[in-house]
Amino acid sequence: MNGDHRPTLEAVASLAGVGRGTVSRVINGSPKVSAKARDAVQRAIDELGYVPNRAARTLVTRRTDTVALVVSESELRVFDEPYFAGTIRGIGSALAETGLQLILAMAQSPAEHQRLEHYLTGQHVDGVLLLSLHGADPLPGRLEEMGVPTVLGGRPVGLDPYSYVDVDNRAGARQAVRHLLGLGRSRIATIAGPQDMGVGVDRLAGYRDVLAGSGARELVAFGDFSEDSGAEAMRELLEAHPDLDAVFAASDLMAVGAMRVLRSTGRAIPGDVAVVGFEDSKAAAHTDPPLTTVHQPTEAMGRQMALLLVDRINGEQPRQPVVILDTHLVRRESA
């Protein structure tokens, strides 16, 4: 065809034997298209030489083909902690199938959040994924009010978002503590995560669920999921409860910090103190001794977040806007 008669979306739909909407969904990368229809549309596109006019489409649809991932943590933590790497891999793998581009933004202070909110609501992105929210962060609500589809990673505290993906943190914590009780441990401490995050609240609640049923005493210290905070919390626990015989840490990194302190004080793991973490990061298999931990499917979590967001961007109502993924205990030598 010459330049005066560019093939149209309607021509592609006619040749493929499908509706115009199906062609649009294929071009936009929606997963809500059968393999047969997708192949027919792709063959028609190839045969006709159809090229989507992205600039014109953006003007008409206000689509940018860009998704933002916002993490409410420092750059150091985002690039250092395995949880974020796994989740981002899952998000990236799902978006790669859609043609949407991913941009990463980090914001901690109120001023950073305000600047980011202005950018995200200025028609620069088609949707937003939010990770590691603290407290009743107003950003998700403001994005939704401005018509920006939003999906959260993790259940937030003090908010009731339309759509989020999480793991069953409370059940995972119960698995860990029951395992320690089953080993005959009776003075079980926990290093809990931040209580302004759903994950921190839920993992502490799971610990308390099991101890309440056993009659054992609660021994609690708090960290921020980092290795250094785990070490500091372990020192605090040993000073207050030198006879403790087990520790459930709400993250693998905090468990690693706790193990470092236990070794430095001459306590054998698991002989004197058994240790269980939460995440099943790659590092867990290489600690000394290897760390028993609760597996959370971080890549699957990221993938589910991205798929939910793509549905919302394409104007489709997710059948299940809240997704909770299962956890399981991975037994190694530390407990």
* Digit-coded pLDDT (tens) for 253-278: 999 999 999 999 999 999 999 999 99
**Cβ contacts of 72-79, under 8 Å, gap ≥ 24:** 72/106, 72/107, 72/108, 72/113, 72/130, 72/131, 72/132, 72/133, 72/134, 72/137, 73/106, 73/108, 73/131, 73/132, 74/106, 74/108, 75/106, 77/226, 78/104, 78/106
pLDDT at 205 over 60: yes
Residue 115, pLDDT score: 85
What amino acid occupies position 91? I
CATH number, span 9-52: 1.10.260.40
Confidence of residue 118 (pLDDT cuts 50, 70, 90): confident
Q: Do domains 66-166+298-321 and 169-295 have the same CATH topology?
A: yes
What DSSP state is assigned to residue 285? G
Pick from 278, 41, 37, 302: nearest CA to 169: 278
What DSSP state is assigned to residue 250? S
Residue 56, pLDDT score: 46
Instruction: Give pLDDT tens digits for 92-109.
Output: 999 988 888 999 988 777
Confidence of residue 1 (pLDDT cuts 50, 70, 90): very low
Q: What CATH homologous superfamily does 66-166+298-321 map to?
A: Response regulator (3.40.50.2300)
pLDDT at 284 over 50: yes
| % of the chain residues with pLDDT over 70 | 94
Q: Say if residue 23 is exposed, middle or buried (CB neighbours under 10 Å; 0-12, 13-18, 19+).
A: buried
pLDDT at 4 over 50: no
pLDDT at 116 over 50: yes
Query: Taking all residues of the chain, what is their mean pLDDT, rounded to a whole number?
Result: 89
C-alpha span between 140 and 138 (Å, rounded)? 6
pTM of the model: 0.79
C-alpha span between 150 and 306 (Å, rounded)? 10
More confident residue, 7 or 62: 7
Asked if residues 151 and 164 have their Cβ atoms less than 8 Å apart, the reply is: yes
Q: Rg of the Cα trace of the chain?
A: 24
C-alpha span between 117 and 243 (Å, rounded)? 49
Q: Span 232-244, mean pLDDT?
A: 97
What DSSP state is assigned to residue 271? T
- Domains of the chain, by residue range, sit at 9-52, 66-166+298-321, 169-295
More confident residue, 24 or 219: 219
Query: Candidates 3.40.50.2300, 3.30.390.10, 2.40.10.10, 3.40.309.10; correct CATH number of 169-295?
Result: 3.40.50.2300
